[in-house]
Amino acid sequence: MDQEFWHSRWAENRIGFHLTETNPSLLKHWQALHPQRHEAVFVPMCGKSVDLSWLASKHDEVVGVELSEIAVRAFFSEHLYTPLVTAISPMMKLYQFDEVSIYSGDYFSAPLAQYPLIYDRAALIAMPGNLRQRYVARLLSLLQPGGRILLVTLDYPQDQMDGPPFSVTGDEVHSLFEGCKITCLDRDENSDRPPKGKAASHFVEEVWLIESE
């Protein structure tokens, strides 16, 4: 689980995690954050998600970060956008078009601001256990006081299936986000089954509202 893993997944188009439609959990639960149009939204490890466009229709600023430049270029190309591209460093570029800005580079070193709203559908569950605490520490450092996170996780027997996506239990969510107000908005036991070729005795999608206190 290093950067080369994700570069190769995009290079080989092995992106079963990519959804071609707006995530139903985002549509159903975004209003639980009481979002305002002027509030900027941060989307970590955004890939080429169409969720970015949906969020951009609701907010004046949507900021993503994505390791794979293939994914970033694909997002703008598939939406027929011609972005402004700014080289920040040899390993970091910023792509911008209207409301959407995406940093192409490492999440842990991207020159990000603080944001009132964060949407995490597939970032935390892409992290192996030894990186989750570091990931969340960085995420919370990017959340403004009083900010809110919509977090989507998966719960399944980790010993029955290899990640990613990895299982992140409710207990782990509470541990990782200790000090925040944590509300489980949904627990879908009839969610899509595991990725093709994989199996688990149960596969549950959970949706969380994380609020900075």
Summarised one tens digit per residue, pLDDT across range 127-181 is 889 999 999 999 999 999 999 999 999 999 988 887 788 899 999 999 999 999 9
**With bands split at pLDDT 50, 70 and 90, how would you rate the model's confidence at 10?**
very low
Percent of the chain topping pLDDT 90:
72
Summarised one tens digit per residue, pLDDT across range 56-105 is 999 999 999 999 999 999 999 999 999 999 999 999 999 999 999 999 99
Summarised one tens digit per residue, pLDDT across range 185-200 is 999 887 656 665 567 7
**Mean pLDDT for the stretch of residues 17-38:** 89
E strand residue ranges, the chain: 41-44, 62-66, 84-89, 92-97, 100-104, 115-120, 143-155, 181-188, 204-211
What pTM, to 2 d.p., does this model score?
0.91
